[in-house]
Amino acid sequence: MTSEAPFGGGVFIADTSAWARADRLPPDIAAEWERALVNDQIAACPPITLEILYMARDPAEFDVWATRLRALRRMAPIDGDAYWGALDAYREICGRDPRPNMPYPDILAAAAASARGWGVLHYDNHFDRLAGLAPLNFESRWIAPRGTID
């Protein structure tokens, strides 16, 4: 195990796609994920939190996820900067495709990360598309190489 900070040392909003695969990561990446959690490099964001909790199958699973997410010390709220950044990004997306296939929680999370100078840790190509938009400036980082986890 290396002493370097996980995932390049940055702070990342963890997307639902990362959380959903955290228990299936290869051992070296799982260790990096755990170190990032301990180092307070993983942040919550309201739209991602709600998306995760929406998928809970029962109250017990809801409570497990809520407890995990509440334990995160960093949180990226949807404040004015994030709100307007999301709106500007969505305008650019719609200018390219009037019916884009881009989930709103992803746009909001990317804008919240951009507003704070943080990245987004994910397993979802939406964030690569969002990172290429002029209104947003954040690091799009895959939790594991694309195609390596179901």
Hey, what are 42's tokens?
Answer: 């993983």
User: Residue 3's pLDDT is what?
Assistant: 57
User: Residue 100's pLDDT is what?
Assistant: 81
Distances (CA, A) of 6 to 41, 46, 71, 94, 98: 8, 23, 19, 35, 38
Domain spans of the chain? 17-142
Distance in angstroms (rounded) separating the CA atoms of residues 30 and 63:
23
Distance in angstroms (rounded) separating the CA atoms of residues 52 and 127:
17
CATH says 17-142 is which class?
A: alpha beta
CB contact set of 71 (below 8 Å; sequence gap of 6+): none
Distance in angstroms (rounded) separating the CA atoms of residues 5 and 18:
18
Least Cα distance to 110 among 101, 120, 102 occurs for 120
Q: Which tens digit of pLDDT belongs to each residue from 22-40? A: 999 999 999 999 999 999 9
Weakly modelled stretches of the chain, pLDDT under 50: 1-2
